[in-house]
Amino acid sequence: MDILAVERVSRLLGARGRRFAARMLSPAELAGFDAAGWPVERQAEFLAGRFAAKEAVAKAIGTGVSQLGLRRIEVSGSGRAPACRLLDQAAAIAARRGVSRVLLTITHDAGVAAAMAVALGPAGRGDEDVPASDIV
């Protein structure tokens, strides 16, 4: 689980602009962020939620976000249930730790964004053959 004040992200966004988003979002996430055309307040809320989600995923896998890399944890699902996809080295690290699936939820309220992630292993669930790059 991770929680983050949207105002903190708003300050970073104001100081660093799009560079802040580019440092934490995967290429697909960044393309969606750029295309959305949101006002700054919504951009900060979105980025706070994504950052909290990526931190929560890294904690659930049992590493720090610095080991997995923010841009290698891809979160999708605007307007629907969020999903997590691990890319490249992050997928390999998760597989070595026995993680075959990550469940994720994100919420925003009262100026904070929070996320919770649960890392699952195969444990007889029938998904032993899921490639780590397809973790959802």
Give the domain ranges of the chain: 2-134
Catalytic residue flag (residue 25): no
Output the pLDDT for position 126.
Answer: 44
pTM: 0.86
Question: Could you say which of 22, 32, 59, 136 is catalytic?
Answer: 59
Domain 2-134 classified CATH 3.40.309.10? no
Is 4 in a helix, a strand, or coil?
Answer: strand
Of 134 and 56, more confident? 56
**Overall average pLDDT of the 128-132 stretch:** 51
Alpha helices in the chain (DSSP H): 6-16, 18-24, 27-36, 40-61, 65-68, 88-96
Alpha-carbon torsion (92, 4, 48, 13), positive or negative = negative
Q: Which residue out of 8, 108, 130, 133 is catalytically annotated?
A: 108
- In tens, the pLDDT along 30-69 reads 999 999 999 999 999 999 999 999 999 999 999 989 999 9
- Annotated catalytic residue 54: no
Cα dist from 59 to 13, 40, 68, 118, 128, whole Å: 24, 28, 10, 9, 22
Mean pLDDT on 94-111: 94
Q: Say yes or no to pLDDT of 128 above 90.
A: no
